[in-house]
């Protein structure tokens, strides 16, 4: 089950892709049909000359080059269960490219079920250049094929289950070929070493914290996840375990009006996300927002900076240009104690 926290705008699935210059486009709602492809392979493949999902809308008629990074967030439902995994990739379908040359590694989504929403983020980098700027040479491919799909390989139209439709409800593109994709997966946010752990009070017996970064399956999709674990012993004293990241300043200060991310929680309480503002002791202050998670469920948070509440330090208005850190914190108030882990993924700014 997926619960959404709506603060200003609905959290939506985004496909973030590079083009000739930085862009942001919303392709809106559309359907993508995976058609019978048994005459060539054992499975189903989406048409490459799609009226919406084409080179003009995706890449502004750009010819893809090797080494371009693409970050993808999307949301869709399938019209039926897929017999095998769904793969996503960029492909050149021209004769010069042998009719089918994949330009990136494949991203795999497992266990796609009919009429169940899939919300996913993927980042990949082009390993080859396309042959030209034509639509057919710079396309995004979707395929569901493998040994579990029923049909006769080499015989067109022999698929037993028949074509499947992917119904996209949001499809937004951002990025550019000469800059990293706008996301924090696989870099600053995801790297465990970028998070400093602070225990308050540090000499309290039993208080501890740990952070781990890895790739794991959540809601049947492989995701890049940062796990924060905080153990708060029973005590009458105020206690907290902090995970502070001081390394995302440029993105937060220059381009952001808020942050968005997803959290898989447990039964533990007392979690907050904080923004540190101010560069010295004279003007440093903290702003917080509570993370009301649900045991074994994914909750999406869309939090404008304006929704963060001042709670400590120099009392002054929030100033984005003075952001110094982003922090995930578990605070021990009253009866809150014991170990708790939250898994944070799909972190981005807007």
Model pLDDT for residues 60-89, shown as the tens digit of each residue:
778 888 888 777 778 899 999 998 889 989
> Across the strands, what pairs with 342?
228
Return the higher-pLDDT residue of 223 and 290. Answer: 290
Looking up tokens 């492909």 gives: 91
Q: What pLDDT shows up at residue 224?
A: 86
Q: Strands 258-264 and 239-245, how do they pair?
A: unpaired
- Residues 17-43 as b or e (16 or more Cβ within 10 Å = b): bbbeeebeeebeebebebebbbeebbb
Q: Determine if residue 120 is left, alpha or beta; phi over 0 gives left, psi from -120 to 50 gives alpha, anything else beta.
A: beta
Q: What pLDDT shows up at residue 58?
A: 82
Helices (H), the chain: 55-59, 249-254
Enumerate residues 6+ apart whose C-beta is below 8 A from 248. 184, 188, 189, 326
Residue spans in the chain of domains classed CATH 2.60.120.430: 192-349
42, 36 in Cβ contact below 8 A? no
H or E segment to which residue 169 belongs: strand 164-170
Q: What is the CATH number of domain 192-349?
A: 2.60.120.430
Tokens of 246: 């001081």
Give the pLDDT band (50/70/90) at residue 209: very high
Express each pLDDT in 254-305 by its tens digit.
557 888 899 999 988 999 999 998 876 677 899 999 999 989 999 989 899 9
**pLDDT winner (highest mean) among 60-69, 308-317, 338-347:** 338-347
* CATH entry, 12-175, from 2.60.120, 2.50.20, 1.20.272, 2.40.70: 2.60.120
pLDDT at 192 over 50: yes
Mean pLDDT for all residues in the chain: 81
Helices (H), 104-233: none
Q: Strands 298-304 and 2-5, how do they pair?
A: parallel
């Amino acid at each position: 089950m997926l619960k959404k926290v709506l603060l200003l705008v609905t959290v939506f699935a985004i496909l973030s892709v590079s083009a000739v210059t930085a862009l942001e486009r919303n392709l809106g709602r559309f359907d993508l049909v995976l058609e019978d492809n048994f005459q060539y392979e054992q499975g189903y493949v989406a048409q490459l000359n799609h009226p919406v999902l084409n080179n003009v809308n995706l890449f502004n008629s750009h010819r893809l080059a090797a080494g371009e990074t693409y970050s993808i967030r999307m949301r869709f439902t399938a019209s039926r269960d897929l017999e095998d995994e769904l793969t996503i990739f960029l492909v050149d379908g021209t004769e010069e490219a042998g009719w089918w040359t994949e330009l990136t590694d494949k991203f795999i989504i497992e266990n796609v079920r009919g009429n169940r929403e899939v919300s996913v983020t993927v980042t990949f980098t082009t390993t080859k250049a396309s042959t030209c700027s034509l639509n057919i040479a710079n396309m995004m491919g979707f395929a569901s094929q493998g040994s579990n799909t029923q049909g006769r390989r080499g015989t067109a139209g022999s698929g037993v289950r028949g074509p499947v439709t992917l119904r996209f409800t949001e499809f937004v593109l951002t990025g550019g070929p000469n800059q990293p994709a706008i996301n924090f997966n696989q870099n600053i946010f995801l790297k465990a070493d970028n998070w400093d752990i602070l225990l308050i009070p540090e000499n309290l017996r039993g208080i501890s914290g740990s952070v781990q970064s890895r790739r794991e399956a959540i809601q049947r999709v492989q995701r890049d996840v940062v796990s924060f674990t905080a153990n708060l012993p029973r005590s009458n004293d105020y206690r907290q375990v902090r995970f502070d990241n001081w390394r995302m300043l440029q993105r937060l200060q220059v381009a952001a009006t808020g942050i968005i991310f997803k959290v898989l929680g447990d039964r533990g309480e007392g979690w907050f996300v904080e923004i540190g503002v101010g560069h010295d002791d004279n003007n440093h202050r903290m702003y917080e927002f509570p993370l009301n998670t649900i045991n074994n469920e994914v909750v999406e948070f869309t939090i404008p900076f304006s929704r963060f509440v001042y709670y400590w330090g120099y009392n002054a208005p929030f100033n984005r240009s003075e952001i110094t850190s982003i922090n995930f914190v578990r605070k021990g108030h009253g009866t809150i104690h014991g170990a708790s882990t939250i898994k944070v993924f799909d972190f981005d700014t807007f």
